[in-house]
Structure 1
Amino acid sequence: MTPPARFTTLTFARDVAAPVATLWQAWTAPAARAVWAAPSPEVTVEFLEAETRPGGREVSLCKVQGQPDIRCEVGWLDLVPQARSVNSEVISEGGVTQSAALVTAALSGGGESSRIEVTVQLASLAADMAAGYRQGFEAGLSNLAGVAARTMVLERVIRAPRRLVWSCWMNPETLPLWWGPEGFSCRTTRIDLRDGGEWVFDMIGPDGTVYPNHHLYRDVRPETRIAYTLLWGENGPKHADAWASFEEEGEATRVTLAMVFSTEAEFQAAKGFGAPELGQQTLGKLERFALAR
Structure 2
Amino acid sequence: MMRQSSAADGAPLAGAVGKEGRFATLTFERDVAASPSVLWQAWTAPAARAVWAAPSPSVTVEFLEADTRIGGREVSLCKVEGAPEIRCEIGWLELRPEACSVNYEVLSSGDVKQSVALVTANVSGTQEGSRLVLTVQLSSLAEDMAPGYREGFGVGLDNLADTAERTLLLQRVIQAPRSIVWGAWMNAETLPQWWGPEGFSCQTKRIDLRAGGEWVFDMIGPDGTVFPNHHRYHEIRPEGRIGYALHWGENGPKHADAWASFEDEDGATKVTLGMVFSTSAECREAKGFGAVELGLQTLGKLEAFVTPR
Q: What is the TM-score normalised by the length of structure 2?
A: 0.93
Q: Is the 8 A contact 1:217 1:226 kept in 2?
A: yes
2:217 corresponds to which of 201, 223, 232: 201
Aligned twin of 1:243: 259
Tell me which stretches of 4 or more aligned residues in structure 1 moved more than 2 Å: none
Please give the per-residue CA displacement for 1:82-114, whole angstroms capped at 9, x wherever unaligned. 000000000000111000000000000012100
Distance 1:111 1:225 in 2: 25
Shift of 1:4: 2.9
Distance 1:19 1:268 in 2: 15
Please give the per-residue CA displacement for 1:29-61, whole angstroms capped at 9, x wherever unaligned. 000000000011100100000001110000000
Shift of 1:250: 1.8
Identity of aligned residues (%): 72
1:144 corresponds to which of 156, 160, 166: 160
SS at match of 1:12: strand
Structure 2: runs of 5+ lacking an equivalent:
1-17
Structure 1: runs of 5+ lacking an equivalent:
none
Instruction: Find out whether 1:228 has 2:236 as its counterpart.
Output: no
1:257 corresponds to which of 249, 258, 273: 273
Please give the per-residue CA displacement for 1:7-27, whole angstroms capped at 9, x wherever unaligned. 010000100000010000000
Q: Is the 8 A contact 1:3 1:125 kept in 2?
A: no
1:117 corresponds to which of 125, 133, 142: 133
Shift of 1:3: 5.6
* 1:1-293 alignment runs, 5 A limit: 4-292=20-308
Provide the aligned length of Structure 1 versus Structure 2: 292
Distance 2:190 2:19 in 1: 60
Shift of 1:292: 2.4
Shift of 1:66: 1.4
Distance 1:148 1:134 in 2: 21
SS at match of 2:115: strand
Please give the per-residue CA displacement for 1:160-183, whole angstroms capped at 9, x wherever unaligned. 000000000000000000000000
SS at match of 1:257: strand
Q: Is the 8 A contact 1:3 1:126 kept in 2?
A: no
Name the aligned partner's letter for residue 141 of structure 2.
L
SS at match of 1:144: helix
Name the aligned partner's letter for residue 188 of structure 2.
P
Distance 2:69 2:305 in 1: 29
Name the aligned partner's letter for residue 211 of structure 2.
D
Distance 2:111 2:220 in 1: 53
